[in-house]
Chain A
């Protein structure tokens, strides 16, 4: 063991972190995928937060005189079968999609990271038990698992969040476990143990912060898939319920009028695609920056 590595005690590791983080941030800010993805995601976040003030019309107000109006200056995305402004509904839908995605990924991330941390750090029977349960959950196709959870819990946006969260717990657990295993044998963990620190303290103060790279990447990618999953569940009539505007729901409603008013299906679909693309680009870029080996 070199002198340098001996000197890398938990405190020493912490001291070098600030410089390392700055360098990472600089690399991230120069990465085209991170920059493009961030711009898209930030723009959509602004729409999600301020959409209700940006929308020119109330998304639920019906105007039967303006049914199926094609895109125009007054209605940039046209109107639907009830004469509601599709543009306003798309803006409001952003809030629903983002809320569901962030809460679902927040739940799955918290539970999955905790399980992966315990499994990877403690190993032994805990690792076996956690990972076998995760293997079982992995055996269910994602959409089908979400539909099944909805079948048990019932329809509604809250239950959609829970269903999506359950689908992504195994992914977070696996990613975290892999990262933790690669970190747990490092010198600073051994040093922390030698200093008499407890398992929880080592896990939370040393192992988790150094395993964050893949978890951050997974968070971004999971947000993309959560937006897709929410839209899919609402499309099937299981997620957001009328009259609340949601992109998936709007697509489902637009499907019946494809020939008559294609804009009813085109614009909500575009909104979903752009959001998913934004999070995917951000995730891929972050992977290049934080975890270059896995992006090859």
Chain B
């Protein structure tokens, strides 16, 4: 990978992050009327609205407000204070960010456990009953609303079978058992859907590699079929699969927002919705900014991993 390409991609990332910060900051100025009035309600006196506007810094020029906000985050990790609780948002973020990341990675793991074997099985016998079965399941998985799947899983595993809790979060410090019991349903909800999407990509990546001359040669040489798959096909399909995982990780974050809300998971997604419902705009800004930044960074890492993994790909 050339240094020029790396710098170019980093430059694009910075540009995107700058744009993201502008758009996220714009949430407050774009709210029709005064956000302070919206937060306090129509019965609030002009004096209390003015006081809140001053506290939020809304009486200053927009450029000053942006600069204060962005430098506070970049230099001090300070996202401001919640309008509802008055507590520093950074404190909330510190608790909620790990919960979101753990949920996203566990969901990704479940997705991969579903996608890789089913994608391989499907690609090895295209047109077979197994392939059709995987395709049908994958179509259903892609079409099923995540919030509905979550509800169904709660209904079956929490309400009828009483195997797992219907909501909540237990950190690893409370023991592996409690942690797994709490994370399984939300992670499975997001994981099944992303696994369905990834299975289609794994299948098509495998099919592409299976059609190559070197695979035909390896088979013609009489190599053990498992070895052909393991040594030649999977290794070459891995490049595409890694790219898909990266892209899926970004999409998964979107699903995680929904899943967190369904399962009362104390992450950034539920924080964003609660902030929206309570009109706690600074909290919403923090959540949106963190999600978008993670999204942009994951996209960059995916692009870079693609170049690193496949030496034949070189960008100017």
Contacts and interface: CB of A to CB of B under 8 A. Distances in A.
Interface string B108-139: 00000000000000000000000000000001
A280 interface: yes
Nearest to A228: B145
B89 interface: no
A35 interface: no
B208 A142 contact: no
Interface in B145-161: 145, 147-148, 151-152, 154-155, 159
Contacts of B159: 258-259
Contacts of B292: 139-141, 144
A265 interface: yes
Contacts of A265: 148, 151-152, 155
Q: Is the interface of A mostly helix, strand, loop or mixed?
A: helix
B10 interface: no
B147 A139 contact: no
A262 B284 contact: no
A152 interface: yes
A91 interface: no
Given A135-B12, A136-B23, A255 B151 contact: yes
Interface residues of B, number: 52
Contacts of A254: 151
Contact of B19 (A136, A148, A251, A262): A136
B19 A140 contact: no
A272 B143 CA distance: 8
Contacts of B251: 141
Interface in B252-301: 253-255, 257-258, 261, 269, 272-273, 275-277, 279, 281, 284, 287-288, 291-293, 295-296, 299
Interface in B192-244: 204, 207-208
B20 interface: yes
A132 B145 contact: no
A133 to B, nearest CB: 7
A150 B19 contact: no
A290 interface: no
A237 interface: yes
A50 interface: no
A238 interface: yes
Interface in A5-40: none
For chain A, give the interface size range. Answer: 35 or more
A90 interface: no
B33 to A, nearest CB: 10
A273 interface: yes
Contacts of B140: 273, 277
Interface string A250-286: 0100110011001001100100110011001100100
Interface string B18-33: 0110010001001110
B184 interface: no
B145 A136 contact: no
A142 B254 contact: yes
B12 A147 contact: no
B16 interface: yes
A224 interface: yes
Nearest to B279: A151
Contacts of B155: 258-259, 262, 265
Contact of B15 (A132, A140, A232, A266): A132
B145 A232 contact: yes
Contact of B253 (A133, A141, A231, A238): A141
A277 B143 contact: yes
Nearest to B295: A139
B76 to A, nearest CB: 23
Contacts of B154: 258
Contacts of B299: 139
Contacts of B288: 140, 144, 148
Contacts of B16: 132, 135-136, 139
Contacts of B279: 151
B6 interface: no
Given A136-B20, A139-B296, A269-B152, A147 B276 contact: yes
A151 B261 CA distance: 16
Contacts of A191: none
Contacts of B20: 136, 139-140
Contacts of A238: 276
A66 interface: no
Contacts of B269: 144
Interface in A209-243: 224, 228, 231-232, 235-238
Contacts of A248: 147
A141 B291 contact: yes
B62 interface: no
A111 interface: no
A276 B273 CA distance: 24
A224 B144 CA distance: 11
Given A151-B284, A276-B143, A140 B295 contact: yes
26 contacts: A135-B19, A136-B16, A139-B295, A140-B23, A141-B257, A143-B255, A144-B269, A147-B276, A148-B272, A151-B275, A151-B279, A152-B31, A152-B32, A251-B147, A251-B151, A258-B151, A258-B154, A259-B155, A259-B159, A265-B151, A265-B155, A269-B148, A269-B152, A272-B148, A273-B140, A280-B143
Interface of A: 132-133, 135-144, 147-148, 150-154, 224, 228, 231-232, 235-238, 248, 251, 254-255, 258-259, 262, 265-266, 269, 272-273, 276-277, 280-281, 284, 296
Closest 6 CB pairs of A and B: A136-B19, A269-B148, A141-B254, A277-B143, A276-B143, A151-B276
